[in-house]
Structure 1
Amino acid sequence: MKMSKLLTLLLFCVVLATGLSLQCKQCAGLPYNCTESPQLCYINQTSCMSQSFTIVENGLVTEKTYKGCSQGLVCNETVYVDLGYKKTYISSQCCNTDNCNTGTYYNRVPVAALFCQTCQGNSGSCATSNLTSIQCAGVQDRCMTATTMYVNVSSSDVVIKGCGTGNLCGRRLEYNTGKGRVYTEVSCCGRTNCNQGLKTVTVNETTNDMSCYACNETGKGECTKPTTVRCTGNMTTCLDIQGFPRGNTLMRGCCSKDVCLGLSASLLIQASQKLYCCTGNLCNTGSVASYFNAGSTPAASGVLISVTTLLVLMKELLTLL
């Protein structure tokens, strides 16, 4: 009898240990910037879940993502509530292997009836009277306005409007490579043709405590000459873009944290090139090994955007090189 109880207890311990062996990523935050940490699941939590909430109210989009262990009761479901003035989308996705719920997860809002204003130009040519409407396709589930301010000897702006994806929204992309400073803000909304107005880009030129190595490689060895730049405003990170076709280093300088989340990398450099970010004065030494120390991260996975937008931003980048 005692032996039977002992075997039962041992069996329970084995089951308990097995249940606790599943490990998932946990976080709560924005879909494109949800800082993940490991979570050990309990015996009744057999799945890793990613859950996203999107609220579209008066044309404004609010998004949240939650990740962690789950009992699997609400896995792989989508809920849509339309109150007229307010639309709420909730979706979940589950998997059952260790740390399988990593990476960006966000709601893909139904787009069958979504139309957006489109243009490629500047604040003058993209005035409301010059806009045309296009129907979104595929996973393009937001109307988007991306406004970029280039600051050098003189200032100029570039405005892009059209359809985009939810993980573009709210991005602030700022970088300084010594030759010029670039400020980009991406705004989104969720109603038909809601992206009519123009957005003003916030430019903060106040220097902070950071300095980074800076260069623009054009094939003449510019990045072999050590120069530095003082970082300003939200630029609290150093970056290096490395790879083919221009030798070991293509571009170097200060940047905002959002640049390291993947949008800038996926739009402005080729697949054969890599963007690395690090924190600390003059940390972007150009040594690939240095980017795998604590506090250094490669750019996150790419995001989806139209080919025409990609070409426009590539063209603008080349004017700085």
Structure 2
Amino acid sequence: MKMSEWLRLLLLCVYLAPGRSLTCIWCSGSPYNCQESTQLCTLNQTSCMSQAFTIVEAGQGGQPDSVSEWTYKGCSQGLVCNESVYLDLGFRKSYISSQCCITDMCNKGTYYARVPVSGLWCQACEGNNVSCAANLTSLRCAGVQDRCMTIQTLYVNGSSSNVVYKGCGTGNLCGRRLEYNTGSPRVYSQVSCCGSNNCNQGVRPVTVDESPNGIQCYACNETGKGECRTPITSTVACTGNMTSCLDVVGFPRGNTLMRGCVSGDVCWGLSASLSLQASQKLYCCQGNLCNTGVVSSYFKSGSSTVHRSLMGGALLGLIGGLRTLL
């Protein structure tokens, strides 16, 4: 028996003494919005597992590939541990990864499927629509960067300006629309992807829907002058995809730094679009003027905190079959 196997056996004896069960993190959902809770394992469930699925459906008629992701965490008998599986059917690629550990709550944190990359090259630039059409360099992707990506952002505040980034990225960002309005300016970002060498050369116009959707949110940008101090009376009328209200809260003081309307993709946790720091937390709710700054209200029963799923029918079937092996 290898030394690593002896060590695992020893740890099992310590942590699984008579009458003691393992406690694991449990969740089922998208990797970036998997609401974690705890699960008490049965005595034969000797591991905490994180299992992730990435399904890439080939685009049709020139459309980009669609990417769906799912994560499952919980107790496991250890029958499927520390494995990666890749299945290519031509029209669909499936990536499944699992990771196990044997101490309480050890499967905490975001977990993605490992997607192999075979030296993809992408066009890279940082600028605007004009400069990124003329000043492109070729960049070799690394790690799990499996897509060539173009991120375009349009700022609207009386006049309009745009920022464009091109380079390598991961499939979980593809197709996202990151939009927000905190009073001034209104920001519209979209992420487009493709999967062949140097395929991200063009720049498509950012589509903007500014038709009112009936939602109103409190709005502010804190500059140190108390703009976001509660109570606040400044509001904005939400438009298009911006169907949620936002609170950005600074910790540890708990003061509100930003309020406004946002699209659902921002609420999924893609807060890089707002240039948030690690000490700042983002909360979303649905309903007129729900972003009052009372953070505890987002966790009450019946709260309208945004939860959205990317899981398609094919992914559901795949997960159902694999869970029998846990």
**TM-score, normalising length from structure 2?**
0.70
> Is the Cα–Cα contact under 8 Å of residues 274 and 298 in structure 1 kept in the other structure?
no
Does structure 1 residue 195 correspond to structure 2 residue 197? no
What secondary structure does 1:259 align onto? helix
**Structure 1: where are the runs of 5+ without partners?**
1-17, 300-321
Q: 1:248 aligns with which of 245, 248, 255?
A: 255
What secondary structure does 1:170 align onto? coil
Q: How does 1:232-243 map to 2 (within 5 A)?
A: 232-243=239-250
- CA distance in 1 between partners of 2:119 and 2:305 (Å): 39
Q: Deviations over 1:128-180 (max 9, x none)?
A: x4321112234434322111122221222211111223332232211111112
Does structure 1 residue 229 correspond to structure 2 residue 236? yes
Q: Deviations over 1:24-56 (max 9, x none)?
A: 63535x543456788887886655441313437
- CA distance in 2 between partners of 1:214 and 1:267 (Å): 15
> Is the Cα–Cα contact under 8 Å of residues 247 and 293 in structure 2 kept in the other structure?
yes
Does structure 1 residue 179 correspond to structure 2 residue 184? yes
Q: What is aligned with 2:54? A: 53
Change (3 A) 1:222 1:36: closer
Q: 2:287 aligns with which of 268, 280, 290?
A: 280
How far is 1:281 from its partner? 1.7
Change (3 A) 1:85 1:277: closer
**Greater CA drift, 172-181 or 188-197:** 188-197
Aligned length in residues: 280
Change (3 A) 1:44 1:113: same
How far is 1:104 from its partner? 3.5
- Structure 1 residue identity aligned to 2:258: M
Q: 1:204 aligns with which of 190, 194, 209?
A: 209
How far is 1:254 from its partner? 0.8
- CA distance in 2 between partners of 1:185 and 1:173 (Å): 6
- Structure 2 residue identity aligned to 1:109: V
> Is the Cα–Cα contact under 8 Å of residues 50 and 111 in structure 2 kept in the other structure?
no
Q: How does 1:83-102 map to 2 (within 5 A)?
A: 88-95=94-101
Q: 1:151 aligns with which of 156, 179, 197?
A: 156
> Is the Cα–Cα contact under 8 Å of residues 237 and 254 in structure 1 kept in the other structure?
yes
Q: How does 1:93-112 map to 2 (within 5 A)?
A: 93-95=99-101, 103-111=109-117
Change (3 A) 1:236 1:131: same
What secondary structure does 2:271 align onto? helix
- CA distance in 2 between partners of 1:282 and 1:84 (Å): 47
Q: What is aligned with 1:10? A: none
Does structure 1 residue 136 correspond to structure 2 residue 137? no
How far is 1:108 from its partner? 3.2
Q: 1:80 aligns with which of 67, 75, 86?
A: 86
- Structure 1 residue identity aligned to 2:190: E
Q: What is aligned with 2:32? A: 32
> Is the Cα–Cα contact under 8 Å of residues 119 and 161 in structure 1 kept in the other structure?
yes
Change (3 A) 1:205 1:38: farther
> Is the Cα–Cα contact under 8 Å of residues 266 and 273 in structure 2 kept in the other structure?
no
**Greater CA drift, 65-74 or 41-50:** 41-50
- Structure 2 residue identity aligned to 1:253: G
Change (3 A) 1:227 1:115: same
Q: 2:67 aligns with which of 57, 62, 73?
A: 62
**Structure 2: where are the runs of 5+ without partners?**
1-18, 308-326
Q: Deviations over 1:265-291 (max 9, x none)?
A: 586022222222222221222234444
Change (3 A) 1:191 1:71: farther
Q: Deviations over 1:71-113 (max 9, x none)?
A: 5333221123567887543322234567765654322323351
> Is the Cα–Cα contact under 8 Å of residues 50 and 105 in structure 1 kept in the other structure?
yes
- CA distance in 2 between partners of 1:246 and 1:43 (Å): 42
- Structure 1 residue identity aligned to 2:270: L
